[in-house]
Structure 1
Amino acid sequence: MTVSRLPISTCARRRFTADPRRSRRTSSRRSWISRQGQTVDFNLTQEQEGVREALVRYVRRHYGFEHRRALERERAYCPEAWRFLAEMGILGVALPEEAGGLGGSSRDVMVVMEEIGDGLMLEPYLGAVVLAGNLLACSDSGSHRHLLGELMSGGATMALAHFEPDSRYDAERFATRATHTGKGWTLTGDKSFIVGGGYADWLLVSARIEEPAAGLDREQLFLVASGAPGVTRYSRQAHDGTNFAEVRLDRAMVPDEARLRLKAPALAAIHKVLDQGTAALCGEAIGCMRALLRQTMEHLRTRHQFGARLGAQQALRHRVAEMAIELEKARSMALLAARYADSDHACVRIRAVSGAKAVIGEAARFVGQQAVQLHGGMGLTEELNIGHYFKRLTVIEATLGDTDYHLSRVAAGLRDEIKAASPPPP
């Protein structure tokens, strides 16, 4: 299949011209005035709309629910879908232009992730592109840039191996050790819940150097082939059908050039990429909730019971209205997260991203539960995709930090701000 590659630009947002034939409600621009007096336009650009429509068409024609169930049974993703994402340039959306990508923002990634969520796609876009790809793009090494080219063309996949069994979502709690030898580095440790790690050809492994040389940070990132000696990988399947992996590093040898020469400290880069990944997950959750609301409304319109449509019952209509309210609230928070996920100011980024993840985690649970209940017993059957959307939302809530973790992260940031603003004691 030959598909034209659509560039994505994050420059000026497309202005919406009100049609006088439209009602006042539908013709109003979706914009917001920031505290700094800047107008933020939430309308999609022409390029973003083109990518969204292409993804919708592809899912409708080639990625039906039965196809997805077959992939889940095989514990695989679809190579044709991955090739389509590469041909469309979507694998390069999140990567900077100097690395050969399209230089998109987290708002562009959100457009892609919404349709991935709506289509229940199993492709490792989050782990390979948003997490690992963004980190690898921070490296100054030419060989690493060459690997980014393979990723964007669909020829290679990668994953970020950072969290460990004792991390509990804390990005600074990792104990994998890196020891320098005459031939390179040896890595020892265990990594867990590597998003898309079972499909990855390459792993970006975080480790602490036991005795760092002068001018070298203790925390470093290493590019490791998934089949390298000393690397044992266990591919797992979450209950929503998505893939993750666990990796054991037993004195795995890597050359000197495997260490990423980053422009920023490795730990700061990891924090930022994890926030960008969390914002992308928020976008995927919006797509899942949108599909649940759409299908639930259609079910109430068409399903008859005791000679009347289910949608004729006012109590059920009220529950659907509450689902729509939760979805709109979650979408607003996802837009906020996407706006600030690329910020270099950690406190601003944390408040927006973690606040959004906490709100969306609660909204996803509510929307998923209501969709299942309004469909009745068949809402939990394997043959209907409602339960599959709910399972995906449940896994999203626990990925890269659950609701409780992100609430505590926001609270800790507010405490630090209050402490910094408080006058010193007399």
Structure 2
Amino acid sequence: MQALAAYSFEANGIDSSRRVDQVALLVDDWLAGKGAVNPQLAEGEFVSKTGDKTGQFARAVIRSGSDVLHEVELIETAHTGDMFTTSLQFASSGDAVSVYASLGAAPGQSRVAPIAVYPRCPLIIRTLIANFSDWRFAGQEVPLSTVFDATTDDAARQLCDALRSKTRRLPIIVVSNDEDELVWRGLQNKLADELIGLADVAVVSAESSWVLTDELGPRDSCYLGAVRLYWPGGRADGSLLGINWRAGRLGAFGKDGKGRHRFLALMRREVMSVAALTMPSPTVFRRIRSEAEKERLRSLTDGARDRELDSIVEENSRLTARLEAAEGTIQTLRWKMAAGAMYAERKGDAADDGADVEQAEDGPEARPAPAAGETRYYKKIGSGGGVDALVITKACSHREANWRPAFKGDQAEKGLLKLEGRNDWKSIAHCSSCTGGGRWRVHW
């Protein structure tokens, strides 16, 4: 089975028995919405209301003392024969409740190939997050389907603190809402909705993105209509891990609704696939199962206990063999990942915008030099040492009357020379209405 996604969160200091009962009722509603006639049964089949064929479910409750573990598995079969599995576990122990869900897919026919699916957050996870506001993952609040507004300087500084926090355990996606570079309106709202429970989403304006540039540096900033995914942690040199999609790359998906849909599907797969690999099942589930099994064995007669122990020994041998095979596979994959990372470091990872501004895709080697008579537009994204850091952008929507000759633009001229490697321009004009660093029009 191909692992697609995972979700994990818990609540502490609550009436855990009451919360688990509430979650169980919400699971009943979820299964009924899928088509199950009697969702409280231990197992059942139904004609799917949300899919395009059939569905099956199985439920179990495991008790150990006052601790309770619920296990639910939902399997939906598509008309192609592909099977999609949602596994949900939730448990109460002491004053805490833990929830874990995983999504997987298996092909309907034998073939060695990944399944081309783009998972979505299960409705039951959305419902649990919407109904209870105290869920946490590794001590961090579980992301909601709301966007953090970082369009003011103070809010942008708060965002920078969150990005650099060593205690952050979940990714943050930042959307640059630069009106002159915007590809899709409202993208941040769609991202927050589709990545609920897994990633926080923030939006910055053309002006507040300067705070990110000042605080994080141009390399780790997000500006000019870009979307940047920041993973938790950082590199050895202090820079932030992540992937940057600049406006030009976003536009390549298509500037209509279909293009936005393709990009959202890519983002879901990017974040969810990582969650599937890095979100382990809470240890409390294994402890409850183990304690319940011990209690069951202690209640057996001597003869029945001996037979059960023989069965457990045989099962343990089979599981040990499978574990050894899995560990061998893991070691092989780790070697391949290390080799791939080494190759990417040598060649440069195209997906990771790790280069400085002047060496990135906007560098002189990445595009043709300005031609005689050509007009190019540039935007300032930073400055230092008396030189403006400029990137090529597109024309703004302001009137021609807003363009004024730049007679005192020494820093911008030095930035042009550094970016293009030449200073034989005919004229330079500055837009008096553009904000967030301003925009320059250069006639070569």
TM interval, short-chain normalised: under 0.3
**More helix by percentage:** 1
Flag the structure with larger Rg.
2
**More strand by percentage:** 2
